[in-house]
Amino acid sequence: MKKLLTILLLGFSTAAIDAQPRDPLPLWPDGAPGALGKADQDIPTITPHFANPTKATGASIVICPGGGYGGLAVHEGSHYALWLNELGITAFVLKYRLGSKGYRHPCMLQDVSRALRYVRANAEKWKLDPERVGVMGSSAGGHLASTLLTHFDAGDAKATDVIDRESCRPNLGILCYPVITFGEFTHKGSRRNLLGDKPSDELIEFLSNEKQVRKDTPPTFIFHTVADRAVPVENALMFARGLREKGVEFSLHIYPKGNHGIGLGSSKWDPESRHPWVGECARWLQGLGFARK
């Protein structure tokens, strides 16, 4: 009987996995707003990485890879997704539009907002909890994630597109050595790719996210290193201060060593070289009911 039950459970798990999409999903089947063409670079997508049904917690996280708004770093996308899967969390790697391909704000914010709405709209079908959907980002992807953490909306209840009816507010955020400010301590390449060469003072203020934290900004995990010479550690400290001033829960981790772009600890998939932040973040996710204990 035990052997038969095991076979049945394995069959159910296999069927569930087979029913889950694996290929990139276009966020707008008829074309993204403001698209400059129909090439791959013009089509924002999310690539699903579903947790094994026998381990899945029902939580999910949308991942925004870094790359200065000019590219998308694989080790800050699919590598994070595989790690989250280990914790029982389903992950969606976002391919957002880039400044290097002619795009500027608000296209990137439209893409990540749509990704959160897309996951929520399909949560029941994918056996996910619509109230446990987070966002994660590194470097410029961290700026995009922090933009969503501070510029979300509740959706449009009257929209004809059912996806647009969903809220794009994440339930939590994870920021890895993020670009946050567009002021003194900014990463100039990210700002240029997102806003162009001569952005207005108002736009710089609007997207300096340390100044845009809200009382309902979700709980946030932040890590950075003092040794980071590309994106100064002040970015993380300024966002943490903004969270503190608004009474938002956060977990801040500053390490003395580690180059910019360290990802999980290496640009290669190597579980043996993981940085200490990985374990700290896993425990934080467990505490919030996202990850397996």
What is the pLDDT at residue 19?
A: 63
Beta bridge partners of 133: 60
pLDDT for position 118: 98
Q: pLDDT confidence of 3, banded at 50, 70, 90?
A: low
pLDDT at 158: 96
pLDDT at residue 186 greater than cutoff 80: yes
Q: Express each pLDDT in 236-273 by its tens digit.
A: 999 999 999 999 999 999 999 888 989 999 777 888 88
pTM of the model: 0.92
pLDDT reading at 197 higher than 60: yes
Closest alpha carbon to 75 in 273, 267, 215: 267
Instruction: Taking residues 39-54, report their average pLDDT.
Output: 98
Q: What is the pLDDT of residues 199-217, one digit of tens each?
A: 999 999 999 999 999 999 9
pLDDT over 90 (residue 223): yes
- Check the CA dihedral 280-286-287-293 and report its sign: negative
Phi and psi torsions of 4, nearest 5°:
-65, -40
> Which two structure tokens, joined as six digits, stand for 262?
């360290």
Instruction: State mean pLDDT over 190-206.
Output: 96
SS3 64: strand
pLDDT at 7 over 50: no
185 Cβ partners below 8 Å, 6+ apart?
A: 232, 234, 235, 238
Q: Which pLDDT does position 137 carry in this prediction? A: 98
Axis-axis angle for helices 140-151, 107-121 (nearest 10) = 70
Residue 176 forms beta bridges with which residues? Answer: 138, 223
Count of alpha carbons within 13 angstroms of residue 166, beta-carbon side: 20
Can you read off the two tokens belonging to residue 94? 């976002």
Q: Which domains does the chain have, with CATH numbers?
A: 2-287 (3.40.50.1820)
In degrees rounded to 5, what are phi and psi of residue 49? -130, 95
- C-alpha–C-alpha distance, residues 98 and 68, integer Å: 9
Number of helical (H) and strand (E) elements in the chain, helices listed first:
8, 8
Average pLDDT, the chain: 93
